[in-house]
């Protein structure tokens, strides 16, 4: 499964619930990068300033990073929820070839839909270190330019399901569950 949504849509929180409920691996590329920054690895050094400025880490870094992880035994056995990947057309094409070579198929690509005005308010309120006003604006701009076009890409493949991300966390999860259960049936 793939989950797409603007930063601040509740994607991270809902992803944890989905992974727990369905027993799949949660692969958040943002979490992987933040861990690399915390550990001070080469990847972390490359990613830190890009993340803080609200930019996108290069496809040449992100695609191999996911490729390396996605064929591992636990994911092959339990399935995976990709959170924060793909974010660009090249990443989506990269994902398609990875899955093809693993003989795997996507079940669903969920668009967790929350309007720009709402996510801006939420991100200002959460006060994460990389949530400066400038970085927020840049990330939202990149989402519209690079990631939103992927909604059509997934729709063309019959994989897109849009879920309203407004409201109580448990209500949103209920909507997600309904969509996923229908796809799994
Ligand atoms: P997230 O936690 O998904 O909001 O990701 C935090 C930051 O990590 C983003 O603002 C990007 O700088 C970077 N990042 C995470 N995933 C990707 C990706 N698939 N492609 C490029 N950059 C990414």
Q: Quote helix, strand, coil % in the chain, to nearest 5.
A: 65, 10, 25
87 as an active site residue: the answer is yes
- Concerning whether 128 is annotated as a catalytic residue, the answer is yes
Predicted structure pTM score: 0.95
Of 122, 138, 175, 183, the catalytic one is: 122
Q: pLDDT (tens digit, 9 = 90+) per residue, 83-102?
A: 999 999 999 999 999 999 99
**Pocket mutation for ligand 1, best pick of 48, 84, 132 (most atoms within 8 Å of C-beta):** 84
- Asked if 143 and 88 touch (Cβ cutoff 8 Å), the reply is no
**What are the distances in angstroms from CA 72 to CA 52, 64, 80, 140, 148?**
30, 13, 11, 32, 29
What domain range includes position 90? 2-184
* pLDDT tens track for 141-163: 999 999 999 999 999 999 999 99
Domain count, the chain: 1
**Ligand 1 closest atom vs CA 28:** 3
CATH number for the domain spanning 39: value is: 3.40.50.300
Under DSSP, is residue 128 helix (H, G, I), strand (E, B) or coil? coil
Ligand 1 atom nearest residue 86's Cα: 19
């Amino acid at each position: 499964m793939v989950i797409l949504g603007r930063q601040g849509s509740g994607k991270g929180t809902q992803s944890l619930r989905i992974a727990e409920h369905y027993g799949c691996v949660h692969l958040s590329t943002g979490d992987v990068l933040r861990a690399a920054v915390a550990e001070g690895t080469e990847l972390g050094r490359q990613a830190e300033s890009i993340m803080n400025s609200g930019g996108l880490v290069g496809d040449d870094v992100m695609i191999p990073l996911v490729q390396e992880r996605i064929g591992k035994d636990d994911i092959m056995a339990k399935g995976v929820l990709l959170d924060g990947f793909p974010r660009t057309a090249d990443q989506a094409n990269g994902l398609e070839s990875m899955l093809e070579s693993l003989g795997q198929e996507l079940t669903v690509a969920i668009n967790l839909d929350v309007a720009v005005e709402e996510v801006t308010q939420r991100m200002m309120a959460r006060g994460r270190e990389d949530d400066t006003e400038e970085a927020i604006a840049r990330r939202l701009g990149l989402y519209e330019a690079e990631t939103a076009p992927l909604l059509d890409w997934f729709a063309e493949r019959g994989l897109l399901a849009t879920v309203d991300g407004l409201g109580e966390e448990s209500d949103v999860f209920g909507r997600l569950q309904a969509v996923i259960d229908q796809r799994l049936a």
